[in-house]
Amino acid sequence: TNVLGALTVLRPVADAMKQSGGGSVVLIGSQATFKVSLPQAGYAASKGALLSAMYYLADELGADNIRCNMVVPSWMWGPQVEQFFEGKAKHKGITTEEAVHEVVGKFPLRRMTEDGEVADVVMFFASDLAKAVTGQHLMVNAGEMMR
């Protein structure tokens, strides 16, 4: 779904962008592509495939003034992450907050990335501020991983 869903939607959107003189495609990746941390090989592989597709799309669509980039977030609070930390806390006999701190306390910014912060980077890539940027990925991760 991560790859086929995105590419299925992207083709007609790219055609419309071509007709209107260009545009910007912003894909959402995952840090799991670059860092092994949880048993999620299938997910990481699908996001890695999407990253590869982004490079090819940037090249293929560039002649039509369509930019293609990717935002790569890290931990973001939501039901799955909450369940992960609740399970970790229960297993270790600590609070959920302590379990979260064990992970994000090691990040340079000492916190988890907020949804709005990822949205800000998506908006940057979509805006004219990034009109010369294509084929790039940007990690939004409170410094957890630096490349």
**pLDDT tens sequence across 81-105:** 899 999 999 999 999 999 999 999 9
Between CA 8 and CA 12 the distance in angstroms is 8
pLDDT in the model for residue 80: 86
Between CA 142 and CA 101 the distance in angstroms is 13
Say whether pLDDT at 124 is over 80.
Answer: yes
pLDDT digits (tens, 9 = 90+) for 10-27: 999 999 999 999 999 999
Residue ranges of the chain that CATH labels 3.40.50.720: 4-74+123-140
- In this prediction the pTM is 0.89
Average pLDDT, the chain: 93
Read off the pLDDT band of 31 (50, 70, 90): confident
Alpha helices in 24-146 (DSSP H): 41-62, 79-92, 96-104, 115-126
The CATH number of 4-74+123-140 is: 3.40.50.720
pLDDT in the model for residue 110: 95
Query: What's the residue count for the chain?
Result: 147
Between CA 24 and CA 45 the distance in angstroms is 24
23-34: average pLDDT: 92
